[in-house]
Amino acid sequence: MAKCKILVVDDDRHIVDLVRLYLERDGYQVLVAYDGLEALKLARQRRPDLIVLDLLLPEVDGLDVCRILQTESKVPIIMLTAKTTEEDKLIGLELGADDYVTKPFSPRELVARVRAVLRRVGQEAPQGPPEMHFAGLVIDRRSHEVRVRGEAVSLTPTEFRLLEVLAGEPGRAFTRLELLDRVFGYDFEGFERTIDVHVKNLRKKIEQDPRQPTYVQTVYGVGYKFSED
């Protein structure tokens, strides 16, 4: 089985070398870039399975790299950020990043996040029926594809997993903490608004009117549910 390719992008060569060491120890093939332009070039030419992306980069900053790549591919992205406020962390998620790690960080934690995101991409066999059918919506768990009224829509791995969890139990109200657990895993030390951002992005892609959602509905005071109707 071919090794997963991870592209690590940071202008701090010490961080790049450290992350590469830990990822290679874990069995991954590692590509590196030190600025945004090189990151875009490598992402297009080598098609990595996942990108670890610093926000503050020369040439093209990390947010722009993320925005551009999200229009070109489904590659999952873990953002590295030295910014610690909640709003700063949410910006990357709103652009389609799957996860974030705040500097300074533990290389072991980053490797664990890489594993978790790759699992959401489909490294593990899906449990349950291969396809889920609803009015105007098909979730294909084998190919990680979603079709809305016959048209394919591009979801990030995290958005797909979130939809899969909610649609797997229609009508059940999930709390945000339950969704963090089911989508990210027990070791994810995120905050509950992370789920709100991913739900917002998901609604933009699958709902006719995201402000009046048909599928993913808010349960006030609790969290979210997938509509049975």
Report mean pLDDT in 10-residue bins for the chain, 229 residues.
86 94 93 96 95 92 90 88 70 80 88 85 58 89 87 88 91 89 66 84 93 94 87
Let me know if domain 131-226 sits in CATH 1.10.10.10. yes
Report whether 110 contacts 99 (CB < 8 A). Answer: no
The encoded tokens of residue 77 equal 């992205």
Report whether 33 contacts 9 (CB < 8 A). Answer: yes
Cα separation of the two ends of the chain: 42
Which option is the CATH number for 5-123: 3.30.460.20, 3.10.580.10, 3.30.70.270, 3.40.50.2300? 3.40.50.2300
Pairing of strands 99-102, 77-81: parallel
The pTM score is: 0.68
Distance of CA 71 to the CA centre of its chain: 14
Q: Which of 21, 3, 47 is nearest to 110 (CA)?
A: 21
User: How confident is the model over 157-181, as pLDDT tens digits?
Assistant: 889 989 999 998 999 999 988 888 8
Pairing of strands 29-33, 5-9: parallel
Site of tokens 């978790």: 116
The ranges assigned to domains in the chain are 5-123, 131-226
